[in-house]
Amino acid sequence: MGKVVVLKKIIYVILFAAFLFGGVILLNKWLCFKDGSICSGDERVKTFQSLPENSVDVLIVGSSHVMCGMNPVIFWEQEGITAYNLATRAQTLPFSYLYLKEALKTQSPRYVIMDAYSVMDEKEQYGLINNEDHFNMNMGSLPFSMGKAELIEKYIPFRERIYYYIPFLRFHSRWKRALEMQPDNPGIFLGFCCGEDETEENVSFEEPYSLGREERAPLEAVDLEYLERIIELCRKEEIPLIFIKTPVNASKEQMGRFNELGDILEKEGIPFVNYMELYRETDFSYREDFRDRTHLNSRGAEKITTHFLEFLKEYDLAQTGGSLKDHRNETGFDFWQQKSEAYHAHQRERGREE
């Protein structure tokens, strides 16, 4: 075979591979995971990716507890701080680590607020990492990365991995839905979920029992591993990390794990703003500010966010002399103002505001 013939064949193979690769990428975009719910990562990730680079001051990462409990609109309205809530349903620490890594590719926030939810529930028992639906719900919206590949290799059985590496093979039957227009999901503002009407009913609880500050329960290995990696990543990127836990009805054992986490964070010199205890310092009410068993309603979120913002300001002043700036009168931050207005319009429409 002459050199020209060999060269031609190599070019054919490269062209073929390019066609194949291009097609796979396009189909992965077209037929990716979409659960369409208010708690999915679809819209949050899409909006986050559209933000101007390095425009986010405070990045909130975690589960639906912070998704419904930390409202970035309040950050903007009260202090002109640009915050974004990159939370997904039952996001455990391995996923949070990946979200954080992905977010840091385009943003360099002043603070990372990490949800402590992960330690609350047993991962294996509730399928919080290796369950297919859960994995897709958390990972489906994220682009392919080495971090994602690591999680697939770690938690997905060998035979199923192909559906995670080439997700359209898993979701190809959604072509019918993909042909129909997908409406934007109302009720998501800068990642904050202010609820849908039917789930917005208040659920009233008694004041929690003595929360047992003395209780201790060991953390799962997976939490310890990713806690360490998150801390390491933030240190490497020189971004202060703050852990938060919004109020929730926890069992004694769960409380023990939160306390154990608190001990570890204390040793690491990382603040843990635990509203399981701190709620007493706010006007938060277990009777009025929950929308369901574990999630706050928008009123509860407003109370917790406002209190947290006070803490953040003080902490920022003490640590850096005030690195968080008010962007409200600066140009290039219209997006936050628009989202803030949209949020209030949404609330008015649902009769939650005058």
Partner 1 sequence: MIFYSPDFLLFLPVVLVICFLVPKRVQNIWLLIASLLFYASGGIQYLPFLLLSVTVSYFCALACEKYPDKKRIALLIWVVWGLGLLFAMKYLPFAYSLLSRFLGVLGISGETPRFSTFLPIGISFYTFSTIGYLMDVYRGKIKAERNFIDYGLFVTFFPYVLSGPIERAGQILPQIKAGVIYSFENIRQGACRMLWGYFLKLVIAERLRIFVDRVYGEYQAYSGVHLLIATVLFAFQLCADFAGYSEIAMGAAKMLGIDVMQNFKAPYFARSVSEFFKRWHISLNRWFVDYLYIPLGGNRKGKWRKYLNVMITFIFSGLWHGAGLCFVVWGGLNGLYMVVGDMTKKARESFKRKLGVRTECFSYRLWQALFTFAAVDLAWLFFRADSLRTGFGILQKIFLSFKLESLIDRSLLTMGFDGYDWMLLCVSMVLWLIVDSLREKGNFYRKFLEQNLLFRYLIFMAGLFGILVFGVYGPDFAAGAFLYFQF
Query: Which residues would be at the binding site for partner 1 (CB under 8 A)?
Result: 9, 12, 15-16, 19-20, 23, 27, 31, 132, 159-160, 162-163, 168-170, 172-173, 175-176, 179
Q: From residue 344, how far is each of 43, 77, 311, 349 by CA, in Å? A: 19, 11, 24, 8
Q: How far is the CB of 162 from partner 1 (least distance, A)?
A: 5
Using the minimum distance from each CB to partner 1, give the nearer residue, 168 or 336. 168
C-alpha dist (Å) from residue 55 to 50, 94, 141, 197 = 11, 25, 21, 32
Decide: helix, strand or coil at residue 150.
Answer: helix
Name the residue nearer to partner 1 (CB basis): 176 or 267: 176
Distance CA 194, CA 297 (A): 7
**Is the CB of residue 51 less than 8 Å from the CB of residue 334?**
no
Strand extents, DSSP E, the chain: 58-62, 83-87, 111-115, 188-189, 192-193, 241-245, 272-274
Beta pairing partners, 115: 244
CB-nearer residue toward partner 1: 173 or 329:
173
Nearer to partner 1, 30 or 286 (CB): 30
Q: What is the smallest separation between the CB atom of 12 and partner 1, expressed in angstroms?
A: 7
Whole-angstrom distance, CA of residue 336 vs CA of residue 353? 19
In the complex, the smallest distance separating the C-beta of residue 122 from partner 1, rounded to whole angstroms, is: 25
> Closest distance between partner 1 and the C-beta of residue 19, in Å?
5
* Residue with smaller CB distance to partner 1, 27 or 113: 27
Please state the closest distance from residue 9 (CB atom) to partner 1, in A: 7
